[in-house]
């Protein structure tokens, strides 16, 4: 959950995974932006309520969860994520 809109928050503290699905919470009223430490509303179009994105790294690579950041257009909104090896 992004406590304060406009503030990038790391998806998780750590973890290496082979694939990652991020879904904007269904209760969200605004948009969720996915990116790096500098993510904000200009980074991408954002995910609306219930929208999701699947991230698969290149062969032989892994996703580091603390390298993925989320921001929200509305304070208190967030995402659910599902990671697999």
Tell me, what's the pLDDT at 59? 86
Tens digits of residue pLDDT in 4-53? 999 999 998 888 889 999 999 999 999 999 999 999 888 889 999 999 99
**First vs last C-alpha separation in the chain:** 24
CB 55 within 8 A of CB 19: yes
pLDDT at 84 over 90: no
Tell me, what's the pLDDT at 79? 97
pTM for the whole structure: 0.89
CB 65 within 8 A of CB 15: yes
CA angle 73, 66, 59 (to 5 degrees): 110
Whole-number average pLDDT of the chain = 93
């Amino acid at each position: 959950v992004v406590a304060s809109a406009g503030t990038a928050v790391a998806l998780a503290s750590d973890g290496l995974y082979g694939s990652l699905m991020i879904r904007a919470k269904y209760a969200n009223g605004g948009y969720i932006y996915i990116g790096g430490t500098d993510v904000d509303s200009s980074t991408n179009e954002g995910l609306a309520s219930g929208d999701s994105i699947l991230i698969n790294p290149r062969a032989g690579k892994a996703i580091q969860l603390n390298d993925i950041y989320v921001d929200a257009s509305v304070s208190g909104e967030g995402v659910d994520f599902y990671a697999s090896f």
